[in-house]
Copies of this chain bind each other. A is one copy, B any other.
Amino acid sequence: MAAGSTATKQDSEPLVVLEEFLPYRLNVLAGLTSSALAQIYAERFGLSIPAWRVIVTLGQYEHRTARDMAPPGVMHKSTVSRAVAALEKRGLIVRRPNLDDRREELLALTPEGRAIYEAVAPEALAVAESLLSVLTPQERDTLSTLIDKLTGRARVLAPRDVEEGEG
């Protein structure tokens, strides 16, 4: 019998403890958070997360192109394309070709789209606020800083969308 091989527990100590593994923990947290929000987006307003992001972005800026919604590492341009198509079909946004560059199309909320935006945004903010309610103001600041640092680093490590920046 090989030395020490008879124990029922692990004899070689674990290399990774999943519950302590940062990417895992980030994924779980993000998943739970998305889940809480998707509840609102989907059940009450029929919006997917990409659609919500498009709506919010158009609520922030008068009009943007689909390209603006697909920064590297956030949403794939095909995802944006489909979300935009669905929103247009529902009459929540309009597309207008940019006459200066007819490759791109300018997007904007319709009145119906803005109404949905004004209905869903406060509820989404309330969920986010409820999440953050367990943190002190100072902890919130720290969290924000840490997320930015990690995101910056992750952008370097992630292989996504090389089609992009490069050059």
Contact = CB atoms under 8 A, between A and B. Distances in A.
Interface of A: 8-10, 14-18, 21-37, 39, 49, 53, 56-57, 59-63, 73-74, 117-118, 121-122, 124-125, 127-128, 130-135, 139, 142-143, 146-147, 149-155, 157-160
Contacts of A26: 26, 29-30, 33, 147
Contacts of A33: 22-23, 26-27, 150, 154, 157-158
A133 to B, nearest CB: 7
B15 A159 contact: no
The A interface is mostly helix, strand or loop, or mixed, namely helix
Most chain B CB atoms below 10 A, which of A8, A33, A139, A152: A33
Count the copies: 2
A50 B148 CA distance: 27
A147 B29 contact: yes
17 contacts: A8-B62, A15-B118, A16-B59, A17-B60, A18-B60, A22-B128, A22-B132, A23-B37, A23-B124, A23-B128, A29-B151, A32-B160, A33-B157, A131-B154, A134-B152, A135-B149, A143-B146
